[in-house]
Amino acid sequence: MVLRGSSGRFVIGALVLAALVVPFAEAGATAPLVTANSAKTLSLSIPGPFNGCSFLDPGATPSTDAVNDLLLPSAFLTSSAGNLYGENGPIASAELTSLSPETVKYTLAPNEKWSNGNTFNGNDLVGWWLRARALKSVQSDGYRDITTLTVAANGLGVTAVFATPYAEWNLLFRDVEELGTQPGCTLADWAQRPTLGPYVLSSVTKDRIVLKMNTRWPIDKNRFGRIVITDSNSVPASAHFADFSLIVNRAEVQNISAHPNVQSHIGSSSEIEELAFAATRPFTARIAVREALSWSIARQTLIDQLWGAVTFSPSAGASALFSQGQAQYPGPTGSPPTSQTTTTTIAPSGAHNGLADCFSCASDVLSAAGFTRTARGWATSTGKDLALTLAVGPSELDQSVVTSVVAGWASMGIKVRVVHESSEIAAAVATATNTVDLSIFTRPTITTVSYTARSWSGPGYDDAYPSGWRSTAVTKLFNQAVANFNPVTAISTWLMMDQQIQKNYWLRPLFTPPSLQAWSTSLVGVTTTFSVPGLVDQLPAWTIAAPSNQG
C-alpha cells in the first residue's frame, strides 16, 4: 500500500512498539508519466446509492465513507489489505505515549485550511469527539472512553486520555468535519460541508459524484485532477477507470472480458451473508430449532448455484466475526467452482468446530427435541405447527438466498413467511427486537473486528446490527479483546468469542460473497482489495502508465 505522503510521519510510542503494529508502507517509485495527472479525468464505479452521511451517521455506507476519505482529514485510513495506516495528511501523526492511563497524542500539520478558508486546528478534533461521544451508535465506541481531550497552546497538538484501555484507538478521528458543521445525511448538506483533503466536491447526486483536485493540498501534487464516481457497475468509456462491484456473475465477467486493455480480479469481499435468530421467540429460543435450521442449509450447494459460472467461489462461512477476505478469517479462503449438487452428510459432532451442514441431522435434532413430522409438516407435541417469520434484506443477493433457503425448509416440512425489510440493518433489528423469528441479510465488516463483535456486547445500537442476545462469557471475551494491545493474543480472544456465538447457533454465517474489481491498464499502482475503502483510499497515489502501456 502506498502512503499519500512522501514520508510516513506516523509514529508509535516506544513503550508499545513490540505490542502494537499498524502496517503502512513508504511511497515507492512509479512509472514515468505521460502528462500531468492533474489534466486527466478518472472514472470510478463503486456500489451506491450515495447518501451524503458523515462517518458518524448510522446511515453511512462503505461507499460514502470511502468518498469522504478523499474529502476530509483522518488519523488513519484503510490499506488494500484491510489494515489501518497513518494517513500522513492534516493529522500528521498519532502517537500512543502511555498505557497507564492510556494516552494518545495527535499532532496536526501547520497552515492547513478548510475549503471555506478557516484554519484547521485542535478544536475541530475536540468538536468531533464531543459530537461522537453523545451518539447512541457503535461509531461512538472509543470516543466514550476518552475522559479528556486537551488542545496544545498552539492549536496543533491534541492529547487524549482514556478512562479504560481501548486498544483500537486507531479507529478514531476518521473523516473529521469542521467544528460547528451540522450533521445530516442529505446530499445538499454534503455539498455544502467544508472539506480538507486531496479533493473537493464539485457536484453530487445519489448515483453520481464529481470531485475536483484540491489545489491547496500539499501532498501528491500529480494526482488526477477530476474524478467522476458513479454506481453504474459497468466499464466506462473513459481511458482511465476503476470499478469495484459486488455483482459477480457470468454476464458481468463476460462484459469485463470483452474490453481490451482492462485488468480484472475476482476475489473476496468485506461482507458476510448470514442467518440470524431472535432470542426470545417461542421457537428460535430453543437451541434445537436453531441447530436444525442451521444444519439444514447446504451452503456449498447454495454457493455453487449462485456463482458456479465464475472463476472464484466462496467457501461455506466459518466465522460470525470475520469476512473471508480478512487475514484473521479462521476458515478456507475460497475455492474454484465445483459441481457439487448434494449436501454433506458429515455428522456435525465430527466436523470442524461442530458446525458442518447436515440435512438428515436437522431432522434428527427436531425429533429428539419432541417435534413430530406430520402430513402438514413439523409440529410440537401439542400439535402446534413449526411456522416461522423471516425478515430479509433488500439486496438482490439476499432475495436469491432466501428463495433457495425457504424452498429447502419447505421440502423438510418447515413453514416460513417472508417479510421484506428496507435495509440490511432493519432486517437485523427485526430479529434483535423479536419482531420476527429469523432474518437473512448482508453484514458489512470493517478493518477492526470489534465493530462486528459489538452485535453481541454492550448496548444494542441499531448500526451495530444488534443480535438481542447477550451472555456473560461473550461479554467477558469482548471486553478482554478490545482492551488488549497485543494483536496476536487479541485475535485469539476474538476467535474464542466467535466460537461461543456459533456453537450456540445465534448466527449462522452462510458465506462471504465475492467481489469483482476491474481497472484500465493505463493505471499504475492499483492494488487488488476486498473492500470499497481499500480501493478508494489508494486512489491519490495512482499514476498513468508510459505510452506503450496505454489503452
Residue type, 162: F
pLDDT at residue number 249: 81
pTM passes above 0.85: yes
Residue 230, helix vs strand vs coil: strand
The one-character DSSP state at 279 is S
* Under-50 pLDDT residues of the chain: 1-35, 336-354, 549-551
Looking at the domain that runs over 14-250+515-549, which CATH code has it been given? 3.40.190.10
Question: What was the pLDDT predicted at 6?
Answer: 32
Angle at 255 between CA 251 and CA 256, to 5 degrees: 125
Check whether the bond before 236 is cis (ω within 30° of 0). Answer: no
Whole-angstrom Cα distance, residue 147 to residue 143? 9
Q: How many angstroms separate the CA atoms of 402 and 396, rounded?
A: 10
List, as own/partner pairs, every contact residues 56-60 make where C-beta atoms lie below 8 angstroms and the sequence separation is at least 24, other chains included. Answer: 56/128, 56/131, 56/132, 56/135, 56/137, 56/139, 56/140, 56/183, 57/139, 57/183, 57/184, 57/185, 58/137, 58/139, 58/425, 58/461, 58/462, 58/463, 59/185, 60/139, 60/185
Sign of the Cα pseudo-torsion (162, 163, 166, 172, in order): negative
Cα distance between residue 92 and residue 101, in whole Å: 23
pLDDT of residue 253: 81
Give the pLDDT of residue 22. 31
pLDDT at position 11: 38
Q: Tell me how many degrees the CA angle 467-343-321 measures, rounded to the nearest 5.
A: 25
User: CB neighbours (10 Å) of residue 445?
Assistant: 25
Domain boundaries, the chain: 14-250+515-549, 271-511
Handedness of CA 394, 400, 402, 403 (dihedral sign): positive
For 187-226, write each residue's pLDDT tens digit: 999 999 999 999 999 999 989 999 999 988 877 778 899 9
Are the CB atoms for 75 and 154 separated by under 8 Å? no
- Residues 6 or more apart in contact with residue 265 via CB below 8 angstroms: 516, 517, 518, 528
pLDDT per position as a tens digit, 9-53: 333 333 332 233 333 232 333 344 444 788 899 999 999 888 889
According to the model, what pLDDT value does residue 117 have? 93
Task: Specify the pLDDT at position 390.
Answer: 98
In this predicted structure, what is the pLDDT of residue 333? 67
Q: What is the CATH number of domain 271-511?
A: 3.10.105.10
Res 192: pLDDT: 92
Q: Alpha-carbon distance 353 to 334, whole Å? A: 18
Q: Which amino acid is at 170?
A: N
| Grid coordinates of 465 | 446490527
